[in-house]
Amino acid sequence: MKLILTTEVSGLGAPGDIVEVKDGYGRNYLIPRGFAIRWTRGAESQVASIKKARQARDIRDLGTAKEVAGRLGALKVVLKTRAGEGGRLFGSVTTGDIAEAVTVAGGPQLDRRRIEIGNAIKSVGSHRVSVKLHPEVSATLDVEVVAG
């Protein structure tokens, strides 16, 4: 099945990419969740508009991405959240929370979809998350979760 991605799908591609996937994966997962649309000849104009929007949002060149990665590595991000006894959080820390905390700490504005949390953050303490800035550049960010 030939599809056009509308959002970034890890391991598959970026918005505007035309990909070939198995029928069930496309029909049951990608299309219902809005991650992709069916490819048609008329959809080429949609691909152009999706790529144009992506270019406006993305950090385009590799040098800028490396510079931002260096800034993120040196940044101290502290995220205050509610916690119970023993340091266990009420809920968990989301990628949106991390993106907001980076901005508050003086870092660059990040797209929450580019932040990857390995295991769910459900306790106070220091945690590492990955930020995919460019297809070739990923940054590691240390997030300190404190009860507050």
pLDDT digits over 67-115, tens only? Answer: 888 888 888 899 999 998 888 998 889 999 999 999 888 888 888 888 9
Q: Where are the domains of the chain?
A: 2-57, 62-147
Could you check whether 2-57 and 62-147 share the same CATH topology? no
Report the CATH number of the 2-57 domain: 3.40.5.10
CATH homologous superfamily, domain 62-147: Ribosomal protein L9, C-terminal domain (3.10.430.100)
- Report how far residue 59's alpha carbon sits from residue 24's, in angstroms, rounded to the nearest whole number: 33
The set of residues, in sequence order, having a beta carbon less than 8 Å from that of 125 and lying 6+ positions away, is 87, 144, 145
Contact 117, 129 (CB under 8 A): yes
SS3 103: helix
pTM over cut 0.75: no
pLDDT digits (tens, 9 = 90+) for 102-138: 988 888 888 888 899 988 899 999 999 999 887 788 8
CA 94 to chain centre: 11
